[in-house]
Structure 1
Amino acid sequence: MSSLTPLDHLIERFQQQTPIRASSLIITLYGDAIEPRGGTVWLGSLIQLLEPMGINERLIRTSIFRLTKENWLTAEKVGRRSYYSLTGTGRRRFEKAFKRVYAANPPAWDGSWCLAVLTQLPQDKRKQVREELEWQGFGAISPGVLGCPRCDRADINATLQDLGAQEETILFETTAQDVLASKALRAQVRESWKIDELASHYSEFIQLFRPLWQVLKDQDSLDPKACFLARVLLIHEYRKLLLRDPQLPDELLPGDWEGRAARQLCRNLYRLIQGPAEQWLEAAMETADGPLPAVSEGFYKRFGGLG
């Protein structure tokens, strides 16, 4: 356990999950900490890093085996040691999932929409396409129509092509509007994207991590190991929230939207602890060639710049 009560509380909360989501936490660790440093690490280093989280060696090995079977990770043996890296597919999944986490503030919205009509899709494929588009920020306007106020058309086309649904999905794009959010549109957004439920999750995130921020920001020196554990849990919990968040424009959200405060808290806490956490990673992790490579330049662009 650490010497920080708020961090102890977060670790205990993670350990009380049934079952412990070790595989998901390992993906967070790879995406947040290992990928910016070459993407490969010795299994023993992973065990050392995650044991303070209450994940024993057996569970880590089982989780790594499962992630390898699911084509997230690939293994390379050097002597008696195993080194694990993200696969090409795993890296693409990571980039897609984590792009939202570290993004700077989204661009201004001009009032345009993208509409996806799924009525020509077979029923079994329609469900699959709906789930994937909802993950990318679409909401159900009606049973066969999804809408998104801010989307990347190239990403949507790539997704539909991967699902073999491009020829059977109808896409429309509306023009920019002067009136961005009428009363009726706000009501539709609340209904289609379950805004109130998401707000409650953001509120819980703030209640969990604000005490940690308040303790750490007043300390003269920060413990590298504690900062690493805090950073992994911070990004792990925030990533899970963003998987549910359609990232709607401010014009469509309530004035007191909890997502804004949660993002500010996550950014401020990450900026505070990332330096000491990197020190701990350098000391605790190794590759087949020895110490981890230097962190990539892209790492320092996270959250609009880490400074």
Structure 2
Amino acid sequence: MIDVSDQHAPRSLIVTFYGAYGRFAPGPVPVAELIRLLAAVGVDAPSVRSSVSRLKRRGLLLPARTAAGAAGYALSPDARQLLDDGDRRVYATAPPKDEGWVLAVFSVPESERQKRHLLRSRLGGLGFGTAAPGVWIAPARLYEETRHTLERLGLDPYVDFFRGEHLGFVPTARAVARWWDLEAIAVQHEEFLGRHAGVLHAWQSREDTPPQEAYRDYLLALDSWRHLPYADPGLPSELLPEDWPGARSAAVFQALHERLRDAGAVFAGV
């Protein structure tokens, strides 16, 4: 059994819940219901309340009343955009194609160097690699999500985007190994497999799919997985080392998604 406390932060699990189920609810999710659903993955009520408060301060959750008048929380428009953008990565089923590159070139005045740090952090968090100081690179398909993110954070005035192809003096596969820490990304894929491949194997040996168990295992798998497509930008296979674990971890997540997501929705009430 996975130790939730060691690997899954309450705030992350709440975001994962809204991404998987909460945004499809007919109205705001009541606080009492949120506490029940997070308890199913090992989060106590005080942790839910404190995490919700932080998400509210960040503008991701908005307090709202249900049709019956109960206190609850709904996603903000920014949070919905964030989740919609993330769907294209998190639930991707086809191997990525080589569609060229997007370059992000930024310049931030020294008087606003805090924004320079934030820009680097956000670009790195979106899967960009560093081609040169102030020049970040990613597969071209990440452009729209990156634009939305930087606009939401008010960082767009500092950045110019360009599309292009690599015409350097070394093979692109060698350049990619400079732009990203592929070894560290591979370790994250192996960690996901270590946590969840056995869970999938256990489900494959069963014929029943009890909703509460399905909900628990799916939410934990999704919470582990949804960060990986951001650490790993989804490079074409010909640019990656042999026996790259990304395809295996994606297959495990996809199989868990297909087996457990809908049964979990019964427990979540959506």
**TM-score bucket of the superposed structures, by smaller chain:** 0.7 to 0.9
Partners of 2:41 and 2:220 within 8 A in 1:
no
Q: Quick one: which of 60, 71, 74 aligns to 1:85?
A: 74
Structure 1: 5+ residue runs without aligned partners? Answer: 1-8, 283-291, 293-307
Offset of 1:43 from its aligned partner? 1.2
What whole-Å deviation, never above 9, does each CA across 1:145-204 have from its counterpart, x for those lacking one?
A: 222233344444445555555555343332588xxx996432221232111011011111
One-letter code aligned to 1:150: A
Q: How many pairs align?
A: 266
One-letter code aligned to 1:16: D
Q: Quick one: which of 245, 250, 262 aligns to 2:249?
A: 262
In 1, the alpha carbon distance for the partners of 2:142 and 2:88 equals 13
One-letter code aligned to 1:48: R
Partners of 2:189 and 2:246 within 8 A in 1:
yes
Partners of 2:211 and 2:263 within 8 A in 1:
yes
Offset of 1:218 from its aligned partner? 1.6
Offset of 1:32 from its aligned partner? 0.6
Larger displacement relative to structure 2 (152-161 or 97-106): 152-161
Structure 2: 5+ residue runs without aligned partners? Answer: none
Larger displacement relative to structure 2 (99-108 or 75-84): 75-84
Partners of 2:139 and 2:233 within 8 A in 1:
no
Offset of 1:225 from its aligned partner? 0.6
What whole-Å deviation, never above 9, does each CA across 1:238-289 have from its counterpart, x for those lacking one?
A: 012223122222221122111110000100111111232122222xxxxxxx
In 2, the alpha carbon distance for the partners of 1:150 and 1:48 equals 41
1:47: which partner in 2?
Answer: 35
Matches within 5 A, 1:30-41: 30-38=18-26, 40-41=28-29
CA separation of 1:44 and 1:151: change in aligned 2, threshold 3 A:
same
In 2, the alpha carbon distance for the partners of 1:127 and 1:29 equals 30
2:186: which partner in 1?
Answer: 199
Partners of 1:42 and 1:84 within 8 A in 2:
yes
Matches within 5 A, 1:122-271: 122-123=109-110, 124=113, 125-162=115-152, 166=156, 168-175=158-165, 184-271=171-258
In 2, the alpha carbon distance for the partners of 1:248 and 1:134 equals 15
Partners of 1:39 and 1:86 within 8 A in 2:
no
In 1, the alpha carbon distance for the partners of 2:25 and 2:11 equals 20
Larger displacement relative to structure 2 (20-29 or 36-45): 36-45
Q: Quick one: which of 99, 102, 117 aligns to 2:91?
A: 102
In 1, the alpha carbon distance for the partners of 2:163 and 2:103 equals 6
Q: Secondary structure at the match of 1:53?
A: coil
One-letter code aligned to 1:87: S
1:68: which partner in 2?
Answer: 56
One-letter code aligned to 1:226: E
1:5: which partner in 2?
Answer: none
One-letter code aligned to 1:231: Y
1:299: which partner in 2?
Answer: none
In 2, the alpha carbon distance for the partners of 1:183 and 1:175 equals 13
* Structure exhibiting the larger radius of gyration computed from Cα positions: 1
Q: Secondary structure at the match of 1:74?
A: strand
In 1, the alpha carbon distance for the partners of 2:246 and 2:92 equals 14
One-letter code aligned to 1:187: R
CA separation of 1:82 and 1:104: change in aligned 2, threshold 3 A:
same
Offset of 1:236 from its aligned partner? 0.2
Percent sequence identity is 26
Q: Secondary structure at the match of 2:36?
A: helix
TM-score calculated relative to the size of structure 1: 0.77
Offset of 1:233 from its aligned partner? 0.2
Q: CA RMSD in A?
A: 2.6
Offset of 1:140 from its aligned partner? 0.5
In 2, the alpha carbon distance for the partners of 1:61 and 1:48 equals 12
Q: Secondary structure at the match of 2:141?
A: coil
